[in-house]
């Protein structure tokens, strides 16, 4: 069982244009869709498509359109009733794959909501193999929320609980790294990797520098870093080795959720007992497949071609 936690989920409305976005002008879309979203939710949706057991933990009443949409997709959920409504986000995609996102802040959560959400996560974490903490935090949750969740899981399971993966950014991720608590996996993209390390964001053009930056995070307690670098592939960095994988180019329809799909691909391969380099191959294959699909559609394994990935071991970088 893989538990995903999305503290700030969203109903994602995607609008597809047949020409470049022309600011200030009236344009007609060629297609539109609405899908449940948020990083952890997307990971669960991809895992369901892969036939794995998962449950998405998130704030939201059973009657909230977000929870209704997840039930319609047959995604198991554990919703925490709250006073507000789950946010809506808008994504505009252009023919060349350029994606523009407009995200709402999310509903205001209370101190009681905070405590109840952590309790809900812990109750499901007891029987999980992985817990994925993903995405931004809504108003009302402090930046150390993920730190407190990790502490609560470990306290409740006497240190024998699930492995924990985190995919976030900004203040919540800084708080996690600075706490030194150590988690099993983090999944930054190039921009987030630069933000976490305080280095210039040149990593998509310089994978060796990205590998060195990721290694510095391993030195600070993160057991593994899965760094996605867009069209330049991805890295898997541990204390022992650094792997890089790339995929043949794809015609991108939407990059929304591609990183979430990559994380799901990694977890899928891990659950199948794959070696690190094959986990990375499945991660980049899932990410490429997601980019080739419209909106935030998550791929199934049949959509992916991990054997097409070029995976190789990098020489050991020196952490900056």
| Catalytically active residues, by annotation | 260
Rounded Cα gap, residues 215 and 195, in angstroms: 15
CB 218 within 8 A of CB 239: yes
Helix (H) / strand (E) containing 101: strand 99-103
CA nearest to 12, candidates 44, 35, 43? 35
Q: 74 is written with which tokens?
A: 């047959």
Strand partners, 245: 234, 311
CA 58 to chain centre: 14
Tokens 């995929």 found at? 247
């Amino acid at each position: 069982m893989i538990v995903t936690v999305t503290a700030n989920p969203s109903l994602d409305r995607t609008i597809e244009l047949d020409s470049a976005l022309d600011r200030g002008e009236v344009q007609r879309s060629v297609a539109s869709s609405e899908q449940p979203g948020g990083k952890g939710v997307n990971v669960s949706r991809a895992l369901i498509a892969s036939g794995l057991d998962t449950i998405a933990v998130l704030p939201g009443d059973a009657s909230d359109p977000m929870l209704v949409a997840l039930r319609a997709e047959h995604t198991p959920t554990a919703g925490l009733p709250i006073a507000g409504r789950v946010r809506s986000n808008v994504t505009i995609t252009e023919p060349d794959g350029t994606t523009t996102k407009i995200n709402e802040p999310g509903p205001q959560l209370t101190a009681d909501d905070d405590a109840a959400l952590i309790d809900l996560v812990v109750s499901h974490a007891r029987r999980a193999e992985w817990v994925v903490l993903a995405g931004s935090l809504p108003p009302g949750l402090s930046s150390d929320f993920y730190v407190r969740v990790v502490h609560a899981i470990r306290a409740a399971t006497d240190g024998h609980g699930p492995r924990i993966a985190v995919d976030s950014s900004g203040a919540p991720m800084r708080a996690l790294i600075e706490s030194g608590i150590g988690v099993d996996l983090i999944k930054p993209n190039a921009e987030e990797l630069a933000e976490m390390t305080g280095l210039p964001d040149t990593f998509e053009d310089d994978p060796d520098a990205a590998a060195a930056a990721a290694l510095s995070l391993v030195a600070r307690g993160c057991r593994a870093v899965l760094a996605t670098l867009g069209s330049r592939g991805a890295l898997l960095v541990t204390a022992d080795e650094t792997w890089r994988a790339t995929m043949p180019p794809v015609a991108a329809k939407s990059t929304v959720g591609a990183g979430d799909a990559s994380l799901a691909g990694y977890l899928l391969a891990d659950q199948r007992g794959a070696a690190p380099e094959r986990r990375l191959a499945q991660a980049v294959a899932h990410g490429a497949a997601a980019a080739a699909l419209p909106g935030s559609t998550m791929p199934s394994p049949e959509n992916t071609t991990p054997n097409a990935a070029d995976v190789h071991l990098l020489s050991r970088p020196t952490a900056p």
